[in-house]
Amino acid sequence: MRHWIIKLYKKANDKGFALGAFNFSTNEILKGIVDAAVKLKAPIIIETSEGERNFFGLEESVAVYHAIKKKYPHVILHADHTKSFEEIKRIIAAGYPSVHFDGSKLSFRHNIRETKRAAEYAHAHDVFIEGELGGIVGGSTMHKKSLKDVLTKDIMTDPEQAKEFVELTGIDSLAISIGNAHGIWKDKPKLDFERLKAIAKATGKFLVLHGGSGISASDFRKAISLGINKININTEMRVAYAHALLKGLHNREDYVPYHYLKDVSAAVSKVVEEKIIIFKAENKI
């Protein structure tokens, strides 16, 4: 499976598009994501954070992934932000073909050691692995603060450290910090494109941009042209989901879930379709 995933990232890299990676924690969100991918003929990554997969069910997420893959094979199931080696083992045993080891809270040397251990384990099990260097602040929700008050230069990925990090850990892709943060903030994120350019040049690795919600279409396009291969989106779908659900439940006379939940999935789909088009991933299967 790992080599098939590497081939897909390489295709994205060579053809100048990015793989959209969309988080899910409910069936309606998952349906919205997959419907959009099928409609636009886009390869897609569906992903769960630790909280999301605990809520959805670890084994359940793998079972549903296999069911989807039978009808639409251009899907990768990915474990987002996994913070311990034990959790990496648990996810791989359950059947995730792609994982993210997030050691960004550890010291540089400790992050190298733990990521290398996770990478060796993942590769021995034919699993693709993303590492992370630099901090990506915030959770996938609406924030009351301004990004400029929480983002500091010292959490941004250093290109020279990134070079050493990818060489010593053997990871397949790297999540970086260049002014991106999870969630939607009072101000728009300002991406440091010079830093991105330097990281791409120093590492030659597939690069991942977390915190996609709130980033403008032109910034996405520029980031892709400078070496971003995968972009994570969560908050914008969560907000669309909640608004559509509230609207669907307001003054309701029938209590049939699939009557109002289909609008919830459609609202998620709309967000995903917009992103797939911005990422130039349509018609790439």
| Residues noted as catalytic | 80
Q: Is 82 a residue that touches ligand 13P (CB under 6 A)? A: no
Would you tell me how many other CB atoms lie within 10 Å of the CB of residue 206? 24
Q: Is 23 a residue that touches ligand 13P (CB under 6 A)? A: yes
Give all strands (DSSP E) within 44-111, no chain letters: 44-48, 75-82, 98-101
Residue pair 76/88 in contact (Cβ under 8 Å)? The answer is no
Residue 222, SS3? helix
Residue 133, SS3? strand
Q: Is 232 a residue that touches ligand 13P (CB under 6 A)? A: yes
| Shortest separation between residue 214's beta carbon and ligand 13P, angstroms | 6
Q: Is 131 a residue that touches ligand 13P (CB under 6 A)? A: no
Using the 8-state DSSP alphabet, how is residue 185 labeled?
A: -
Contact residue for ligand 13P among 173, 203, 213, 269 (CB under 6 A): 213
Q: Which of 80/273 has CB closer to ligand 13P? A: 80
Site string for ligand 13P, 45-64 (x = CB under 6 A): --------------------
| Shortest separation between residue 204's beta carbon and ligand 13P, angstroms | 23
Size of site (CB under 6 A) for ligand 13P: 14
**What's the CA gap between 241 and 235, in Å, rounded?**
10
Listing DSSP states for 136-168 in one string gives --S-SSB-SS-HHHH--GGGSPPHHHHHHHHHH
Q: Is 140 a residue that touches ligand 13P (CB under 6 A)? A: yes
Single out the segment in contact with ligand 13P by CB under 6 A; choices: 122-130, 154-162, 229-237, 271-279: 229-237
